[in-house]
Structure 1
Amino acid sequence: MAVSLRKLSLLTTMLGIAAVFYPGLAKADAVSDGVARATAVIDQYRKLPTFVAPGADFDIEATAKGKTMLSIPNTSANQFLKGIITREIAVGKEIGLKVQEWQNQGQPSQWVQGMDFAINNKISIVDLISGVNPAVVEPQMQAAKAAGVHVFASHFYDPSQPPDPLLAGNLPVSFYRQGWILGNWMIYKTGGHANAVIVKSDEVLPTAPLVQGIHDALAKNCPDCKISAEINVGITEWGTKIQPSVQSALLSHPKVNYVIPIYDSMSQFVVPAVRLSGKTGQVHIATSNGTPFVLDFIRNGDVEMDIGESLDWIARATIDGYMRELAGLPMPKEIGVPYYLFDASNVKTAGIPASANKGYGDDYVAGFKKVWEIK
């Protein structure tokens, strides 16, 4: 035993000397360990999602009977939200709930008009969906409550953020986790040498936790990774400011190898920016949401990866949560739609062209029908 201890002591001493005279070895180990951890994160989200019941079975058709719902997106130009609302309308027809969209161009005054419309027309439910900050329409929410209109928020808050107390209910989603996945994707793909430009919209409340997730992934798993620039663009300015801002950033930071538009509808302006900068093949795009036209970008080679969220699944989970509240049942603590990574290896499963309800399997459709007691 004494001999073994002496050998162990000698080995420890030799490793210590090596670390002093060859610091690159320790750094290489830190990089490879970080890449291994990042790879493990990515592997979790390559598995086809499975359905988990959001609560007890209930008769959703009885609850929905005679009810109406108005969905107000932050802007009707956002194709991710447009896709969700399209599916909400379709799912509503399945269960007897009349759903319509409040068309708008991203102006808070238009959200106010939508709320007033709901109150004046005795709409049962207002769905403030992903980007409409309830704080902006608090006077209207107070009037809605007095009028018996239930105002909900979906896909807007991160679970770490307290919802507006005037809401009848809230279905948050982990935006932080989306950022965590995006950060680890870059580490995984670059072998621990990511250099990124982030495109964001700080006016959208969950932007902060999402971007923090990216920073935390790099801080934990990538000593050599870097964020060269963060570009903040307001929602109504995406069409005019994202492209020139990204082009300028790529020219100013020639070593950048990733652009991260945190909401994938931004990609329609990032793709031409990369192309016009002459960076195709050098600068990659990774994003989140799973909007069908962005999945088509993957198939065409313009976007590398998108964190998919089935728009049909989101629509069903949203309506499920709201109907549970109206039925006097507990709402889920989160929207409960799992993430699934799309890249060139599996994007064709989403259809050609991509569809809002393909690529995720159909387990969830049967699952919701069961919990809704639909024969």
Structure 2
Amino acid sequence: MNIPTRRLLALVGAGLAFSLAACTTSTGAGSDGSASAAASDYKLPAAAQTVLDEAMKAPTWTPPKTSPKAAKGKFVVSIPCAEAAVGCARPGDAFLRAAKALGWRTQLIDPAGDPKKTQAALKQALQLGANGVWMPGGTVEAVGTDLLQQMRKAGVAMFTLGGRSQSLGPSAWSGIMNNDYGLSSPALAAYVAKDSGGKAKVLMVNDSEFPDVANGVKVFESKLGEYCPSCKISQRLDFSITDISTTLPSRVKAILQAHPDINYIYAPYDFAATQMSTALAQAGLAGKVKMVGADGNPQNIQAIKDGTQTVSYARPSELMGWVVADQMNRLFNGQPTINDAAGFQTEDYPTQLLDKSNLPTDVAKPWDAGIDYQSDFKKLWGVG
């Protein structure tokens, strides 16, 4: 499998749980966290090096060969997990731009990370007569099957940013764009193992309200143990998206002060990494405790250049929004979406693991692998 190529999705929604488990767990042999091999003798396994090399290569992307012309007179709505959350806003806003290029009427409804407001937003979209809804973020379970059935009965084309960790599949939606963080975790684990020389002591941060995010944590821990038996998960922290700009930085700071042996932080997604970098700066640990994350938001790519984040597994979130518009347009034209065997939409998008060695020239620009996908889609749709 070509690791830089990924399937459609990542879900980010909202909940109100915050728990901190101050337990120490080894990911390698020896429950006391003792190294199974001398760190000075550590060498990244060949399989892990292959994963790392593939992830850091410059990616490629091939647009669909054919697509129907733009459907006429459609009205579509974007309901992100929270417009303030960059990982949700990027694909949501891009979808609205793509929809306007298609000539559709658009509307943004922001639930601001509240599951009840998300349900209300979907009901509002239904009442307004939306033909299509794009929901970049928010768990399937939080929406409720009754509402989903109402949307489908009304003929609404509905897509969400999620993945294979969701308990409800394509039968409940028109399409789920696969963005499982478990896909990026092996490369991040390989990077941490090699970068630390087998000496990583990780603060594992999780937002367990999102199945795809939680799966990324699970896979990272498993792969770190496989690639680096002498590495360990030193502490764990679970938070909710509504805590990111409030209590999360102070909680992280407290853990780092209480456990000075921690030298890496696993951020479940880059929006959280941006906020946690504040905690590193306040604790005087910027550049000393290394942060790894995923999404490749402009703020995080800048942070890698500045040295306040070490690495990010970048995804072209804007491209995802345009892909959703293309998939929705297929449905509006009575054509099937492009699916894989599991039923997930598969207009592949490029990904790349970024550190200081391979940053794009313009770090302020949303990462898109240098692909002119907008022109590709406009040509397919016959709108430009």
**Which TM-score tier does this pair reach, normalised by the shorter chain?**
0.7 to 0.9
Out of 42, 51, 56, which is 1:41 matched to? 51
Out of 97, 109, 132, which is 1:125 matched to? 132
1:244: how far off?
A: 1.4
- The CA distance in 2 between the partners of 1:195 and 1:60, in whole Å, is 53
The answer to whether 1:186 aligns with 2:192 is: yes
Is residue 87–residue 312 contact of structure 1 (8 Å, CA) maintained in 2?
Answer: yes
- The CA distance in 1 between the partners of 2:307 and 2:232, in whole Å, is 24
Is residue 92–residue 98 contact of structure 1 (8 Å, CA) maintained in 2?
Answer: yes
Out of 179, 182, 195, which is 1:176 matched to? 182
Distance 1:314 1:191, change over 3 A: same
- The CA distance in 2 between the partners of 1:131 and 1:263, in whole Å, is 14
Out of 46, 55, 67, which is 1:58 matched to? 67
The equivalent residue for 2:21 is none
1:306-345 pair list within 5 angstroms: 306-326=312-332, 327-332=334-339, 333-335=344-346, 336-345=348-357
1:174: how far off?
A: 3.1
1:366: how far off?
A: 4.8
- The CA distance in 2 between the partners of 1:112 and 1:159, in whole Å, is 21
1:334: how far off?
A: 4.2
The answer to whether 1:299 aligns with 2:305 is: yes
Q: Which has the higher helix share?
A: 1
- The CA distance in 2 between the partners of 1:313 and 1:267, in whole Å, is 22
1:308: how far off?
A: 0.7
1:284: how far off?
A: 0.7
1:173: how far off?
A: 2.3
Structure 2 letter corresponding to 1:190: S
Is residue 287–residue 307 contact of structure 2 (8 Å, CA) maintained in 1?
Answer: no
The equivalent residue for 1:255 is 261
Is residue 337–residue 345 contact of structure 2 (8 Å, CA) maintained in 1?
Answer: no
Structure 1 letter corresponding to 2:178: P
- The CA distance in 2 between the partners of 1:134 and 1:69, in whole Å, is 22
1:301: how far off?
A: 1.7
Q: Which secondary structure state, in structure 2, belongs to the residue aligned with residue 171 of structure 1? A: strand
Is residue 159–residue 172 contact of structure 1 (8 Å, CA) maintained in 2?
Answer: no
Is residue 53–residue 371 contact of structure 1 (8 Å, CA) maintained in 2?
Answer: no
The answer to whether 1:141 aligns with 2:151 is: no
Is residue 111–residue 137 contact of structure 1 (8 Å, CA) maintained in 2?
Answer: no
Q: Which moved more, 1:194-203 or 1:83-92?
A: 83-92
The answer to whether 1:281 aligns with 2:287 is: yes
- The CA distance in 2 between the partners of 1:195 and 1:334, in whole Å, is 37
Distance 1:82 1:252, change over 3 A: same
Distance 1:31 1:211, change over 3 A: farther
Structure 1 runs not aligned, ≥5 long: 1-25
Provide the identity percentage.
24
When normalised by structure 2's length, the TM-score is 0.81
- The CA distance in 2 between the partners of 1:81 and 1:252, in whole Å, is 33
Cα offsets for 1:272-322 (capped at 9, x unmatched): 111222222320111101111221222222111111111221112222222
The equivalent residue for 1:77 is 84
The equivalent residue for 1:233 is 239
Question: What is the total number of aligned residue pairs between the two structures?
Answer: 343
Structure 2 runs not aligned, ≥5 long: 1-35
- The CA distance in 2 between the partners of 1:359 and 1:111, in whole Å, is 29
Is residue 67–residue 380 contact of structure 2 (8 Å, CA) maintained in 1?
Answer: yes
Structure 1 letter corresponding to 2:77: L
1:372: how far off?
A: 4.1
- The CA distance in 1 between the partners of 2:40 and 2:165, in whole Å, is 31
When normalised by structure 1's length, the TM-score is 0.83
| Greater Cα radius of gyration, structure 1 or 2 | 1
Distance 1:87 1:339, change over 3 A: same
Q: Which moved more, 1:265-274 or 1:317-326?
A: 317-326
- The CA distance in 2 between the partners of 1:338 and 1:143, in whole Å, is 34
Out of 84, 105, 123, which is 1:98 matched to? 105
- The CA distance in 2 between the partners of 1:257 and 1:373, in whole Å, is 52
Distance 1:137 1:220, change over 3 A: same
Out of 332, 350, 370, which is 1:361 matched to? 370
Structure 1 letter corresponding to 2:371: D
Q: Which secondary structure state, in structure 2, belongs to the residue aligned with residue 259 of structure 1? A: strand
Q: Which moved more, 1:43-52 or 1:157-166?
A: 157-166
- The CA distance in 1 between the partners of 2:308 and 2:124, in whole Å, is 41
